[in-house]
Amino acid sequence: MVGSGTFGSGKEYGELTDVKRLGAIVSKTITVKPRKGNLPPRVVDTPSGMLNSIGLENDGLEDFIADKLPFMKRFGIPIVVSIAGDDPDEFAWLAKRLKAEEIRAVELNLSCPNLNKKIFAQDERLTREVIKRTRPATQKTLIAKLSPNVSDIGIFAKACDEEGADAVSLINTVIAMSVDIETARHRLGNITGGLSGPAIKPIALRMVWEAYNASNIPIIGMGGIMDYRDALEFIICGATAIAAGTANFVNPGAACDIINGLERHLIQKGIADINKLRGSLRV
């Protein structure tokens, strides 16, 4: 699938790649009311990665239901809607409103690092509270998106499992910054932002492996996946599914290229079921 915020609703990418081949399309994170986002500059290149500080800019729930969702339905593939709230009740309210049959899952964005306030996924109690409030509000598959900016990702994966989440997705971006030495100023308008791309893959792999060993629910692995080899590493570490994010900015067809590469690899190795590779890391 594709990472939230990296594929929009598929309008632009639909002209460049076969979106219907994806396992799912994941929406940009939506909130109850429209958000303007953070001050520019919002995106900065870094070695082997990218910094962003968008700040969850979006047109709100009502616009998503009226405009974005009808377009996403055209692809005929499962839709995952990423949501964020200011408190647990907002998460629950949003999840309850997303009733369309085509919406197969709701992803709780507990881990956006660009909002200048406490990150839910950095507090085990708050993580549990959001899932506890949201679980009764929807029959959809419930995915909790976790943060790498914690000391022990296993604790949070286990908490999500215990509170009724159906899956976890990890990792979100790593809090980072960039500085202009000529002006001695920060390059992002928000000072800090989220680092993504190949630079964070080793961190993401380690955390997927830790979450796999700490919980019993499926993991959607993400963080620096650029090709099928990267995807295989995540699956070997325990991921049931993977999401390509920053790769979409470099190559609009990255997700489909990864699918093709995985198919070729399985055929070459004589592997009939990719699930046989999941969690096969030898230690």
Cis amide linkage into residue 77, ω under 30° from 0 = no
Query: Which ranges in the chain belong to alpha helices (H)?
Result: 60-63, 69-73, 88-97, 124-134, 153-163, 201-214, 228-236, 247-250, 254-269
Rounded to 10°, the helix 201-214/228-236 angle is 30
Helix, strand, coil % over all residues of the chain, rounded to 5: 40, 20, 40
The model's pTM is 0.96
Tokens read off for 38: 């953070």
Amino acid at 209: W
Q: Average pLDDT for consecutive 10-residue bins of the chain (283 residues)? A: 94 93 97 96 97 96 96 96 96 97 96 81 96 98 97 98 98 97 98 97 98 98 98 98 97 97 98 97 97
Q: Known catalytic residue: 112?
A: yes
- Residue 124 is predicted with a pLDDT of 97
Identify the three-state secondary structure at position 52: strand
| Beta-bridge partners for 169 | 145, 220
CB-neighbour burial class of residue 102 (10 A; exposed 0-12, middle 13-18, buried 19+): middle
Confirm if 53 and 116 have CB atoms less than 8 A apart: no
Ordered domains of the chain (ranges, CATH): 13-277 (3.20.20.70)
Which residue out of 112, 160, 237, 256 is catalytically annotated? Answer: 112
Q: What is the model's pLDDT at position 121?
A: 96
DSSP 149: S
Whole-number pLDDT of residue 249: 96
Q: HSE-up of 201 (CA within 13 Å, CB side)?
A: 21
Q: Determine the distance from the C-alpha atom of residue 230 to the mean position of all C-alpha atoms in its chain, rounded to a whole number.
A: 16
> Which two tokens mark 233?
């590493």
Determine the pLDDT at residue 118: 78
